[in-house]
Amino acid sequence: MLRFWKVMNELFFWLVIAVFGFVMLIGIWQVYDNYYVFNHALDDSVLKYKPDPNDPSAVRDSPITDDMVGWITIDDTNIDYPVMQGESNSHFLNTDPFGKYSLSGSIFLDSRCSSDFSDSFSLIYGHHMEYGKMFGALDDFLNRSFLEKHKKGTLMVGRNAEKVYEIEVFAAMKVSAKEKTVFDLDRDRIRQYIRDNAQLSGGIGNDRILALSTCADADSVSRIAVFCYIR
């Protein structure tokens, strides 16, 4: 009997060691995964491929794929990225602008929207990354003071900036990912929905509307939506 309990204690000891080691491995993997995703998000180096409307040949040899439909910039923020568009909205969730697999994906236009942004309401998505990378910067627009100071931006349409529009941020909100008015592109109701639910800067105009959307956090269905006019 004594030998039995000795064996059981030894087995228990090694079981505890195994469980502890497994938990450590999970922790190490999570740290590595976070590091990998962060360091493979688009960084400032992509800016060398930004189109120049005054020199269409400037990015002739750009490695960004032909799925690029534009470039969006919000002044004085980290938002300065190519806008991609795939045949479905799942494509660029894990594909970077160079066509390579990436957990941080790309900034991309909803596949149901016109690639020339001619719709009365267009929707762009991006992953929520730490330190304001990708669309992590959208958090700040929920602060009215920040919104008022960071309204201006530019939307260049086409691979070589064939058209250039000023954009103006005018509203921001948290919204459920199941909200059909926003995410099913209800163009007839979107203005009234923004008026009723968003933090506004001024009234609702008649210009085309561009929404930028990202996850509010990893553990909910909430989204952050920032609305801009395309001037």
Residue 178 domain boundaries: 44-230
pLDDT at 219: 65
Residue identified by tokens 């639910």 is 197
What's the total number of domains in the chain? 1
21 within some domain: no
113 within some domain: yes
99 within some domain: yes
pLDDT at 53: 86
| Other beta carbons less than 10 A from residue 125's beta carbon | 23
pLDDT at 162: 92
pLDDT at 16: 56
49 within some domain: yes
For the record, the structure tokens of 2 come out as 């004594």
- Give dist(CA 153, CA 98) in Å, integer: 24
| Other beta carbons less than 10 A from residue 91's beta carbon | 16
2 within some domain: no
pLDDT at 94: 93
**Cα 223 → chain centroid:** 10
Decide: pTM greater than 0.85. Answer: no
31 within some domain: no
pLDDT at 195: 94
Q: What is the CATH number of the domain that holds 59?
A: 2.40.260.10
pLDDT tens, residue order, the chain (231 aa): 656 556 566 666 566 565 554 545 443 334 334 444 444 455 668 898 999 888 766 667 789 999 999 999 999 999 999 999 999 999 999 999 999 999 889 999 999 999 999 999 999 999 998 877 899 999 999 999 999 999 999 999 999 999 999 999 999 999 999 999 999 999 999 999 999 999 888 778 889 999 999 998 766 789 999 999 999
For the record, the structure tokens of 211 come out as 């929404």
pLDDT at 35: 42
7 within some domain: no
39 within some domain: no
Residue 109 class from Cβ within 10 Å (0-12 exposed, 13-18 middle, 19+ buried)? Answer: buried
DSSP single-letter state for residue 90? T
Give the three-state DSSP class for 5: helix
